[in-house]
């Protein structure tokens, strides 16, 4: 019983913090309508004075910091610049484990990248990973563990891994076509902290393959965005975050998936760079585009097949097979 009410309290606190976070993001809406947040701010009554402080020691839910979901600290720019991308590949299997075809896909990564440490997590080991690595952030851990829609959970997991440890994330329905060491062209090598590739329609980044250094502000922003969007989605469906079920799944891409990651990273970049970034900046990209420390690859890199195998957009780095799930 104690655990249950603790959970409810945690979720309530996250919900309230998230609503305010959304409200704050909306008031910062400088990216034009394309990347504007589609969630409405909560019109429900919020009695903040009755909220108990989060058990996280890093923050209290009061005053001006109520909007900040407690997260590990972001690395400084000089720290990031002096550290390499971790030589690590993260993948995750579904509840059914791995099928033969996935083993074949996985081999392509191992053969191309003999220097990469490689970990394939399961549902159980992913839960344990989050409990261990985010142990000081129980609000986030409880929220993660409470998610019932598997695709939402793996989306948040991807963000949590890329923020905590970095390296390459790749879904299991993806093969590697070029060694990871070759992905960042020489002129960008010492300035890049995150590598994303455009999806075929160039409106958002692919989420099936992403590379990052640990503790970037971009993945902190992505986690915050996702948690806020989950809270807002729960409000829309008149439920709690753990109550979100498959009926909410049609919105997965926006709430936790590729679109959420794209919007969050571009908003964060725009805020840090003090410029506006919109869809036009990504359209018809033929060469990698470095925005501050985020390298955006043309759609040929991660989505060549769906993009019609373009020949004027640089190398194909991975192939995505659009499997229904990672089982
Ligand atoms: C990054 O590398 C380029 C050469 O590829 C060099 O000209 C530049 O000075 C380097 N910048 C930093 C900050 O190390
Ligand atoms: C929300 O759910 C509660 C409990 O299930 C119900 O009493 C209430 O009428 C619902 N509100 C709306 C707007 O659907
Ligand atoms: C995005 O495109 C607009 C319009 O072309 C331009 O003003 C802006 O500087 C671009 N942003 C970046 C970060 O390059």
Other Cβ atoms within 10 Å of 90 Cβ, number = 24
- Closest listed residue to residue 25, CA positions, set 219, 273, 213, 221: 221
- Closest listed residue to residue 120, CA positions, set 313, 327, 311, 280: 327
Collapsing DSSP to helix, strand or coil, 47 comes out as: coil
Q: Which of 270, 276, 287 to mutate to test the pocket of ligand 3 (most atoms within 8 A of CB)?
A: 276
Whether the CB of 280 sits within 6 Å of ligand 3: yes
How many angstroms does the Cα of residue 1 sit away from the middle of ligand 3?
A: 54
How many angstroms does the Cα of residue 68 sit away from the middle of ligand 3?
A: 29
How many angstroms does the Cα of residue 190 sit away from the middle of ligand 1?
A: 6
Q: Please list the pLDDT of the chain residue by residue as tens digits (327 residues).
A: 444 455 555 555 444 555 444 444 443 333 333 333 333 232 222 222 222 333 333 332 222 232 568 899 999 999 999 999 999 999 999 888 888 889 999 999 999 999 999 999 999 999 999 999 999 999 999 999 999 999 999 999 999 999 999 999 999 999 999 999 999 999 999 999 999 999 999 999 999 999 999 999 999 999 999 999 999 888 888 888 998 987 666 788 988 999 999 999 999 999 999 999 988 999 999 999 999 999 999 999 999 999 999 999 999 999 999 887 644
Write b or e for each residue in 146-178: b if 16 or more Cβ atoms lie within 10 A of its Cβ, otherwise e: bbebbbbbbbbbbbbbbbbbbbbbbbbbbbbbe
How many angstroms does the Cα of residue 173 sit away from the middle of ligand 1?
A: 35
> Which ligand lies nearest the alpha carbon of 191?
1
Sheet of 194-197, strand order: 117-121, 88-92, 167-170, 209-212, 194-197, 294-297, 289-291
pLDDT at 323: 83
Alpha carbon distances (Å) from 119 to 1, 50, 87, 152? 36, 43, 11, 20
pLDDT at 32: 33
- Closest listed residue to residue 181, CA positions, set 112, 253, 275, 97: 112
pLDDT at 249: 63
How many angstroms does the Cα of residue 104 sit away from the middle of ligand 3?
A: 42
pLDDT at 101: 82
CA distance from start to end of the chain:
34
pTM equals 0.80
- Give the nearest ligand 1 atom to 190 CA: 1
> Which ligand lies nearest the alpha carbon of 185?
1
Nearest CA to ligand 1 atom 6: 187
Whether the CB of 281 sits within 6 Å of ligand 3: yes
Nearest CA to ligand 1 atom 13: 190
Q: Which of 279, 281, 283 to mutate to test the pocket of ligand 3 (most atoms within 8 A of CB)?
A: 281
Contact of 314 with 298, CB cutoff 8 Å: yes
Q: Which two tokens stand for residue 171?
A: 């879904």
Nearest CA to ligand 3 atom 2: 281
How many angstroms does the Cα of residue 35 sit away from the middle of ligand 3?
A: 14
Phi, psi (deg, nearest 5) at residue 218:
-65, -40
Phi, psi (deg, nearest 5) at residue 246:
-60, -25
Nearest CA to ligand 3 atom 12: 277
């Amino acid at each position: 019983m104690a655990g249950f009410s603790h959970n409810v309290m945690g979720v309530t606190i996250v919900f309230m913090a998230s609503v305010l976070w959304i409200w704050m993001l909306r008031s910062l809406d400088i990216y034009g309508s394309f990347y504007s947040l589609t969630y409405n701010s909560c019109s429900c009554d919020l009695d903040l004075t009755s909220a108990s402080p989060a058990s996280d020691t890093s923050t209290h839910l009061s005053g001006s910091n109520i909007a900040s979901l407690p997260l590990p600290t972001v690395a400084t720019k000089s720290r990031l610049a002096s550290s390499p991308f971790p030589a690590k590949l993260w993948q995750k299997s579904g509840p059914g484990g791995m099928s033969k075809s996935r083993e074949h896909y996985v081999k392509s990564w191992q053969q191309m990248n003999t220097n990469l440490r490689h970990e394939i997590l399961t549902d159980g080991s992913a839960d344990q990973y989050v409990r261990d690595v985010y142990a000081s952030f129980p609000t986030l851990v409880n929220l993660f563990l409470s998610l019932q829609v598997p695709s939402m959970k793996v989306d948040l997991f991807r963000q949590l891994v890329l923020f905590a440890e970095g390296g390459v994330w790749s879904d299991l329905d993806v093969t590697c076509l070029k060694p990871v060491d070759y992905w960042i062209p020489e002129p960008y090598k010492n300035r890049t902290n995150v590598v994303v590739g455009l999806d075929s329609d160039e409106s958002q980044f692919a989420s099936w393959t992403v590379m990052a250094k640990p503790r970037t502000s971009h993945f902190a922003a992505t986690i915050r965005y996702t948690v806020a969007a989950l809270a807002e989605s729960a409000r829309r469906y008149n439920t709690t975050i753990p109550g979100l079920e498959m009926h909410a799944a049609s919105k997965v891409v926006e709430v936790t998936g590729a679109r959420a990651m794209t919007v969050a990273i571009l908003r964060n970049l725009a805020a840090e760079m003090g410029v506006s970034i919109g869809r036009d900046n990504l359209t018809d990209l033929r060469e990698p585009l470095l925005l501050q420390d985020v390298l955006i690859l043309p759609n040929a890199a991660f989505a060549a097949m769906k993009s019609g195998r373009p020949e004027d957009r640089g190398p194909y780095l991975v192939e995505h097979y659009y499997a229904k799930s990672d089982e």
